[in-house]
Chain A
Amino acid sequence: MNDEGDPIQALVRLLTRLPGVGEKSARRIAYHVLGADPDYARALGGAIATMSERVRRCASCGAYTSRVRCAICDDPRRTAEILCVVARPMDADAVERARVFQGRYHILHTLLDPLGGVGPGEFPLEPLLERVAREGVQEVILATPPTVEGEATALYLAECFHAAGVTVTRIASGVPHGGDLEFTDPITLGRAMEGRRSV
């Protein structure tokens, strides 16, 4: 079958470029939208277009926002002294949901990943260093993920900040709340043991 100009196939092709969406799910979504109220399809299309036109990165922290600066950076109750550095916007959302952090965020949008084409030359280090100097940050918390690239990025940043005389901490990694030690994977458990502290 020739699918040139077939609108269903065109949508399916676009959908399969989304993370976690294969050909099958894409078809399911396409048929679902076809079966729903046409207003829904229009609203969906419109919402995607509007989002991509209006949302940009916060000039200060890199979070997605429709304003120049995001709500957290604009909030005078949030302290500028502590800065939590994360890889992705959803990582900041996760820390935010825990409601334990009163400082501000810095979203890198990438990790130091030479295999993925992000070497030290491509890594967005300068804006972060400038921000820390400009805003008088006292402590930088490195909350990059506990993966090879996440750990390397944390170490790289730690070295850069030590040189600049800023206090740097790394979030702990260990056994999840309510987790059973017996069912915790050995790497996580190993880290929890390494990161133990006196009580």
Chain B
Amino acid sequence: MTPLRITELSVDGFRNLRDVKLLPSPGGNVLLGDNGHGKTSILEAIDYAASLRSFRGATRTQLIGHEAKAAQVLLRVAGPDPAREYRLRLGRTTREITLDGKRPERAVEYFAGAACVVFHPGDLDLVRGPPELRRRLLDRILVRAVDGYGEALKSYGKALRARNVLLRERHPDTRAIQAFDFPLARYGSALVRARSVLAHDLVPAARRALDEVALSPDAIELRYQPRASGDQVVFTAALAENLSRDLARRSTALGPHADDLAITWSGLPARIVASQGQTRALALALRLAELHVLEARTRAIPVLLLDDVSSELDRERTARLFKLVAALGAQVFVTTTDPAIAALLPGARRFTVTDGAVGPGDG
């Protein structure tokens, strides 16, 4: 399996980053520096260019530096295919994306070519937070692994928003509302089918990952809970049946936008029974499962972005994780304030991040 490797990274005007240029190592990379200087923003810039979404939940305008006209990111990524060039330019009202100088034609081609897996402190919410974050995990994998998924997701969102606008009108027109049932059911059922298959693959991947982070693999159970059918005809019928309820609540109740991925731990909901330490390890296991599934489905090992892991994991688990990453052969970027953590990743290239600029590390 060939690992994906970022061979060059340039960032400018993204949050507080100014004219950052990095030539990362194909193996480990450590970003050292005090908090608030831009370490996490570098990971965010990489992942934003690769996934077009901020893992910190930021909107586009929040990502543009206060004094910058636009945020720009350039990634060169080597992998099983010839090296590809990702360019992103975020203006206050515009977003330009190119892949090898051209507008990407298919979502899967863009997203799979620079697949990253991020593990960051906010990931505790994968286990404890609302279902939206777990749906986002499924979608993040599927836009990279399934041709047409990204397009279907976009179309579904559009149909859903349109239908909800119609449901909120003062005198709702049921004929117009039902006209959107067709695209909603077509794209929605496709999303449910893809998510069901993925959830099935995620279980063994998560067990393997739990073993890797030293928790009992048998304790975890993942169950996909769809809120609509993967059969377009059944989906459509359910929408029709539910119309009066939707009219009363003024929004569409059924559909993949309300799905969840239930995580149980020794038979009980993980968000309730898992301790703080177990929750962290579970969240990490879900991210490693994301990596394993992507590896199997895209035939390439994603780049790992680990944000401040030492605050999330104890020293032993951190060391174990780094060993695992090295064994997988994945390229990894680690942020930390603690030079001792950098020492756990032998052979890593070090960079120091100070006030939005990057210099060579001292190791």
Closest-CB distance, B255 to chain A (whole angstroms): 14
Q: Output the least CB separation between B234 and chain A (Å).
A: 15
Does A126 interact with chain B (Cβ within 8 Å)? no
Q: Which chain B residues lie closer than 8 Å to A153 at the CB level?
A: 179
Q: A114-B162, A115-B162, A119-B173 are in contact. Are A185 and B182 (CB under 8 A)?
A: no
Q: Which residues on the A side are within 8 Å of B169 (C-beta)?
A: 119
Complex formed: what's the CA distance from A67 to B184 in Å?
Answer: 41
Whether the pair B183, A148 counts as a contact (CB closer than 8 A) is yes
- Docked Cα-Cα span, A34 to B165, in Å, equals 48
Question: Does A91 count as interface, using CB distance less than 8 angstroms?
Answer: no
Known: A119-B169, A119-B176, A159-B178. A185 touches B162 (CB 8 A): no
Cβ-defined contact, A155 with B148, below 8 A: no
Give the nearest-CB partner of A157 in chain B. Answer: B179
Q: How far is the CA of A120 from the CA of B183 in the complex (A)?
A: 17
**Are A187 and B175 CB-contacts (below 8 A) given A115-B161, A119-B165?**
no
B189 to chain A, nearest CB (A): 11
Do A112 and B179 touch (CB < 8 A)?
A: yes
Q: Please, which residue of chain A has its CB at the minimum distance from the CB of B180?
A: A152
A130-151 vs B, CB cutoff 8 Å, 1 = contact: the mask equals: 0000000000000000011101
A115 touching B165, Cβ below 8 Å: yes
Given contact pairs A152-B182, A185-B106, A120 touches B173 in the complex (Cβ within 8 A): yes
Shortest beta-carbon distance, B178 to chain A, in Å? 7
On chain A, the residues within 8 Å of B148 by CB distance are 185-187, 190
Within 8 A of B (CB), among A137-189: 147-149, 151-153, 155-156, 159-160, 185-187
Give the Cβ gap from A151 to chain B, nearest Cβ, in Å.
5
Q: Which residues of A contact B181 (CB under 8 A)?
A: 155
Nearest A-chain residue to B181, judged by Cβ: A155
Q: Are B175 and A160 in contact (CB under 8 A)?
A: yes
Q: Which residue from chain A places its CB closest to the CB of B162 in the assembled complex?
A: A114
- CB-CB nearest in chain B for A151: B183
Instruction: Indicate with 1 or 0, residue by residue over B156-180, a CB within 8 angstroms of chain A CB atoms.
Output: 0011011101100100010110111
Q: Is B152 engaged at the interface, CB distance under 8 Å to the other chain?
A: yes
Instruction: Kindly report which residue of chain A lies nearest to residue B152, judged by CB atoms.
Output: A187
Identify which of A121, A152, A155, A185 gathers the most chain B CB atoms within 10 Å of its CB. A152
Instruction: Output the nearest chain A residue to B160 by Cβ-Cβ distance.
Output: A148
Task: State A112–B178 Cα separation when bound (angstroms).
Answer: 12
Closest to B161 in A: A115
Chain B hits for A160, CB < 8 A: 175
B175:A114 contact, CB within 8 angstroms: no
Task: Give every chain B residue within 8 A of A115 (Cβ-Cβ).
Answer: 158, 161-162, 165
Check if B151 sits within 8 Å of A187, measured CB to CB: yes
Closest chain A residue to B163 by CB distance? A114
Asked if B34 is at the interface of the complex by the 8 Å CB criterion, the answer is: no
B155 within 8 A of A: yes
A152 is contacted by which of B106, B161, B179 (Cβ under 8 Å)?
B179
Is B176 a contact partner of A112 (Cβ separation < 8 A)? yes
Q: Are B162 and A120 in contact (CB under 8 A)?
A: no
A158 — nearest CB in chain B belongs to which residue?
B179
Nearest CB in chain A to that of B96: its residue: A22
Which residues of the other chain, B, contact A149 by a CB distance below 8 angstroms?
A: 158, 162
Q: B314 at interface (Cβ–Cβ under 8 A)?
A: no
Q: Which residues of A contact B173 (CB under 8 A)?
A: 119-121
The answer to whether B175 touches A159 (Cβ under 8 A) is: yes
Contact assessment for B152 and A148 in the assembled complex, using a CB-CB cutoff below 8 Å: no
Which B residues are in CB contact (< 8 Å) with A152? 159, 162, 176, 179-180, 182-183
Q: List 11 A-B contacts (CB under 8 A).
A: A120-B173, A148-B155, A148-B162, A148-B187, A152-B176, A152-B182, A159-B178, A160-B175, A185-B106, A186-B148, A190-B190
Which A residues are closer than 8 A to B by beta carbons? 112-115, 119-121, 123, 147-149, 151-153, 155-156, 159-160, 185-187, 190
